[in-house]
Chain A
Amino acid sequence: NAGVTQTPKFQVLKTGQSMTLQCAQDMNHEYMSWYRQDPGMGLRLIHYSVGAGITDQGEVPNGYNVSRSTTEDFPLRLLSAAPSQTSVYFCASRLIAGANVLTFGAGSRLTVL
């Protein structure tokens, strides 16, 4: 089925560990983004990309790295996890042209102990 696929769905890390959240879409969307969702905070943009080789920071980029080597994939890396990064992470994508809506993945719940 077409859409945005996120893996893993759940992950528990210890402080200082590193990991990568994977995001892939098969809709040929130029724009891809990562959000984190915390209670009472809505969704906050971490990083986004408007095409392969182009990334930019969002509202809360510290502690996260991204790359966009292909149109389909947009992984989010935590180099040294901290308890403050405990959250639910959503990847979303859309076509750039026009006011096209975001298509969201199902989310990845990360707990950092």
Chain B
Amino acid sequence: AQSVTQLDSHVSVSEGTPVLLRCNYSSSYSPSLFWYVQHPNKGLQLLLKYTSAATLVKGINGFEAEFKKSETSFHLTKPSAHMSDAAEYFCVVSDFGSNSGYALNFGKGTSLLVTP
């Protein structure tokens, strides 16, 4: 069975400083991992995904994430935060290769606050 833990429920950064949102996962198979973003009162939008290709994944809006199998982590980073990055971020894991791989498991979310 797969699961995902987002280590911080809230992260606050100043505009122009780096962003780090942490995610650890557990999986019995080779997982696929995703980061989604949800702006207030909106649906979820895909930021990036990892599917066993390059371990450093680049996404939209300057975000990237690195898959580290030895650490079972998939942390999301951005070099310089923008006010428009303020949102809820979800780390998601799925074992597409397993019999139960149809379902995706969401972390509880990290709320990113960006201050001027």
List chain A positions with a Cβ less than 8 A from chain B: 31, 33, 35, 40-45, 48, 50, 58, 90, 92, 96, 98-99, 101-102, 104-107
- Measured CA separation A64–B106 after assembly (Å): 20
Given A90-B44, A99-B49, A101-B46: A40 touches B9 (CB 8 Å cut-off): yes
Report 29 cross-chain contacts, Cβ distance below 8 Å, ordered by A residue.
Answer: A31-B102, A33-B103, A40-B109, A42-B106, A42-B108, A42-B109, A45-B103, A45-B104, A48-B103, A50-B102, A90-B43, A90-B44, A92-B44, A96-B102, A98-B96, A99-B32, A99-B51, A99-B94, A99-B96, A101-B34, A101-B46, A102-B46, A102-B104, A104-B43, A104-B45, A105-B43, A106-B42, A106-B43, A107-B42
Whether a CB of chain A sits under 8 angstroms from the CB of B67 is: no
- Measured CA separation A33–B102 after assembly (Å): 10
B29 smallest CB distance to A (angstroms): 12
Instruction: Provide the residues of chain B in CB contact with A45, threshold 8 Å.
Output: 103-105
By beta carbon, the residue of chain B nearest A50 is: B102
- Measured CA separation A45–B109 after assembly (Å): 15
Closest 4 CB pairs of A and B: A99-B32, A42-B108, A99-B51, A43-B106
- Measured CA separation A92–B106 after assembly (Å): 13
Contact among B9, B43, B109 for A107, CB-based, below 8 A? B43
Instruction: Provide the residues of chain B in CB contact with A102, threshold 8 Å.
Output: 44, 46, 104
Interface set, chain B 94-116, CB cutoff 8 A to A: 94, 96, 102-109
Whether a CB of chain A sits under 8 angstroms from the CB of B90 is: yes
